[in-house]
């Protein structure tokens, strides 16, 4: 948990066992999660993040990335059917959400 700080960077490279990350309400512009394959839950809401890529995060089931500056979101992790919660609200420039299966995503999200 590192909510409500003035963090403008977060180094998670040596945190391969990380499962839960709550880093909302900071000044983050980007966050790299490729080295965190065990990540299950991420709340990075209320930052300045422009792009997120979860292609290396097959265990991810809960995502809150609302209130950012997202223009793209890559959820293609070969496990989209396991998502229990996804919040992308208040990202007015979000034009692309890449998913594993468009039909499944449209019917279930």
Q: What is residue 47's predicted lDDT score, i.e. its pLDDT?
A: 98
Q: How confident is the model at residue 41 (pLDDT cuts 50, 70, 90)?
A: very high
User: CA-CA distances (angstroms) from residue 19 to 10, 16, 25, 27, 28?
Assistant: 15, 9, 19, 22, 19
Write down the pTM of the prediction. Answer: 0.94
The Cβ of residue 20 has, within 10 Å, a number of other Cβ atoms equal to 12
Output the pLDDT for position 77: 96
Give the model's pLDDT for residue 74.
Answer: 97
How is residue 5 annotated by DSSP? S
d(CA 108, CA 85): 11
């Amino acid at each position: 948990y590192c909510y409500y700080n003035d963090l403008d960077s977060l180094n998670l490279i040596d945190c391969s066992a990380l499962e839960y990350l709550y880093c909302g309400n900071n000044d983050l512009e980007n966050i790299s999660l490729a080295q965190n394959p065990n990540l299950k839950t991420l709340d990075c809401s209320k930052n300045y993040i422009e792009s997120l890529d979860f292609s290396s995060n097959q265990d991810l089931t809960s995502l809150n990335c609302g209130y950012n500056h997202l223009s793209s979101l890559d959820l293609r992790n070969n496990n989209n059917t396991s998502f229990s919660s996804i919040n992308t609200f208040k990202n007015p420039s979000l034009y692309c959400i890449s998913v594993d299966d468009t039909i499944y995503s449209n019917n279930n999200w």
